[in-house]
Amino acid sequence: MSNRKKVWFEDAERKLDPGLVEQLRNSRKVSKNVTSNNEIPIIVYLNNCNQDKKDDLLHACNVDSHNKLGKELHSINGVKGHLTPDKIKQIKDHEAVNRIFYDRIVTSFLDIACEQTGAVKVREQLNLTGNGVTIAVIDTGIHPHEDLTNPSNRIIAFHDFINGESKPYDDNGHGTHCAGDAAGNGTLSDGKYVGPAPEASIIGLKVLDEQGSGRLSTIIEGLEWCMDHKEEHNIRIISLSLGAPAYESFRDDPLSLAAQAAWHQGIVVCAAAGNSGPTAATISTPAIDPFIITVGSTDDQNTLERTDDLIADYSSRGPTIDTLIKPDIYAPGTNIISLLAPGSSIESEVPEMIIDGNYIQLSGTSMATPICAGIIALMLEANPELSPNDIKSILKATSHPTLDDIWGYIDAESATRMAKSYLQIPAETVQES
C-alpha cells in the first residue's frame, strides 16, 4: 500500500471537479511544484451568501496580474475567470465558494434529408414554413448567405462572444451550415437545398472560434444571452451543435445546468448527442441533460425509403453518465448539403465537399440537430402555445421505431399534425378544479 501523501488538490473532495484536478496535476508536472503562475480557466459555483463575502472572494482573486475572476454566469450562480493553482488552493475553502470547475474546451460536432423527414409534405399540405418562429444557432457564427437574406434578411440578430464584431460572419463555417440545415430557403440552388423551416428567423451567436472550439463559460454566456433576449426576438428554439465530454452528473455540470435553465424559461433546447459512436455511454454535455432534446444522427443512404436507414456509426450512444436513456430523437445527419461560408476554415479544409460553389456537404450529429430544430419551428408555427415539454412529448410520440425497431426516427408530418391539434387545458378548468 502506498504511503505517498496526497497533494492538496487530490484531497479536496467535491470542492474541485475531476477535470480541474487533472489540470492541476498536469500543471504540477510541468512546474515541479504547485505554485505555478500558469493560469487555468475556471468556473466558480457560488454559495448563497451575502454580498460582502462574494466581494471578499473577488478581491482575493483580483489582487495581481496572474489572477482574474468576476464575469458573472447568472444562470448557474457562478463566475468565470483565470486563476493560478496557488490561488485556487487559497480560495477553495472560501465561504463564498461552493465548487470550482475547469472551464473545459467545447467543440463543434439538405437535399434528400428534408423530403425524407416529411418536412416537404408539411410545407405543401399544411402551408407551414417556420414563419414567425426564431431559432438561435449557438455556434461559430453565421455568414449572410443569400439563402438566409433573400428575398428578406431573416438573420434578425448577431452577437460575437469571441472577437466582438457587430456584423454577421463565420470564419469557421460550421454555424452557417447549421443555420442552413434548419432554415435555408434554397435561393441559390433553385429550391434544391432547402431546410425544414425556410421562413424561420435566425439568430447567430458566435461562441466558437475559427477552429471551431471555445470554453464552457462562453457557451453559457450564449445561452444566457438567449434567455435575456427571449421576448425581444421571440426566441423559441436554441440549436446547439457542439459539446464536450461529460465527466459529471447533469446535476453538477455547468453547461447542462445552463441549457436546462433555458428550457425552464420556455425555450426548446436541441443539443447534438456527439460524434463518439458507436461506443456506448458517449453522450456529451449538454446533451446529457434529461430535460432538453438530445439528437442523434442517421444515415439515410441517400434514399427516400426509410427502411434502409441506419443509426450513423459516429453518432454517440447512451446511456448518459447518469445512466439515462439518450438520444431522445434521431434525424438525418449524414452527407447533408447546406450553406457554405466563403473564406471559412471548413471551405479550405474540405474543398472536395463543396457543391455548386455555394453549398458544402457535411456529416455529424451537428447536422441532425438543426434539422430537428427546423422541424420544431414548423410545430411552433402550427401551435405557438406548445411548451418545450409538449414539443418533446410530441416528437417522441410521433417518431418511427424504424431504427433497430427501437429508436425514434423523427417524422415531421406526424409531429406537426399532432402539434396543430394538441389540446391545451383552458385556464378556467385548472382554476375550477
pLDDT for the residue 430: 43
Confidence label for 303 from pLDDT (cuts 50, 70 and 90): low
Q: Which residues are catalytic?
A: 139, 174, 366
Domain 106-421: CATH architecture, name and number where available: 3-Layer(aba) Sandwich (3.40)
| For residue 254, pLDDT beyond 70 | yes
The domain locations on the chain are 11-103, 106-421
Determine the residue type at 210.
Answer: E
Cis peptide before 286, with omega less than 30 degrees from 0?
Answer: yes
51 CB-side CA count, 13 A: 0
Please state the pTM of the whole predicted model: 0.91
pLDDT for the residue 159: 98
May I ask the CATH class of domain 11-103? alpha beta
The model's pLDDT over 39-85, given as tens digits with 9 standing for 90+, comes to 899 999 999 988 899 999 999 999 887 889 988 999 999 999 999 99
Which helix (DSSP H) or strand (DSSP E) does residue 231 occupy? helix 230-233
The model's pLDDT over 112-154, given as tens digits with 9 standing for 90+, comes to 456 667 888 888 889 999 999 999 999 999 999 999 999 999 9
| For residue 399, pLDDT beyond 90 | yes
| For residue 34, pLDDT beyond 50 | no
Confidence label for 429 from pLDDT (cuts 50, 70 and 90): very low
For the sheet with 105-108, list strands across it.
213-215, 105-108, 242-243
Name every residue whose Cβ is closer than 8 Å to that of residue 426 and which is 6 or more positions away in sequence: none
Contact 44, 16 (CB under 8 A): no
The model's pLDDT over 255-280, given as tens digits with 9 standing for 90+, comes to 999 999 999 999 999 999 999 989 99
